[in-house]
Amino acid sequence: MTDFGVSIEKQKEISGKMQRFGIKESDIIENFVRSAGPGGQNVNKTSTAVYLKHLPTGIEVKCQTTRFQALNRYYARKTLIQKIENKILGRLSSEKQKIEKIKRQKRKRSKKAKEKMLEAKKKRAEIKKTRIPIKI
């Protein structure tokens, strides 16, 4: 197990997921490249960005979220595992389920459902009108 600059629990989590989906370290090509964007001299001089390629699936990942190479190695593997999980599980993956839930929430109500909701609101308004105190 390599040190990614994260806690032992996170390293065990990554290695456990890799074993579950049959990902071997030998199947991954890892290169270190220079990051782009803000960061000044550190970005221009050091190769902190991590590029991973999983040979059996052909999935590629580039990670440059932090200034530290070790953390970028961890995040790159995490992203790679997530992409492989999505490819293997398809609709059953957790990310796909979240996306489907958001789509259902944003979906426009049907005409019948909208009429039913408005009718319920009218009934509720009638109940509330009866609570108004009578002025003498």
Query: Is there a domain that residue 1 lies in?
Result: no
- Asked if the model's pLDDT at residue 39 lies above 80, the reply is no
- Identify the CA nearest to 69 among candidates 42, 38, 106: 42
- Whole-prediction pTM: 0.66
94-106 and 69-89 are packed helices; what angle lies between their axes, rounded to 10 degrees? Answer: 70
Can you tell me the distance from the alpha carbon of 100 to that of 96, in angstroms, rounded to the nearest whole number? 6
Query: Is there a domain that residue 14 lies in?
Result: yes
Q: Which tens digits make up the pLDDT trace of 76-119?
A: 999 999 898 888 877 777 778 888 899 999 999 899 999 999 99
Tell me, what's the pLDDT at 50? 93
Query: Is there a domain that residue 123 lies in?
Result: no
Can you tell me the distance from the alpha carbon of 81 to that of 84, in angstroms, rounded to the nearest whole number? 5
Query: Is there a domain that residue 124 lies in?
Result: no
List the domain range (segments joined by +) for residue 74: 8-96
Query: Is there a domain that residue 89 lies in?
Result: yes
3-class DSSP state of 56: coil
Name residue 5's amino acid: G
Domains of the chain: total = 1
Query: Is there a domain that residue 12 lies in?
Result: yes
CATH number at residue 70: 3.30.160.20
Query: Is there a domain that residue 85 lies in?
Result: yes
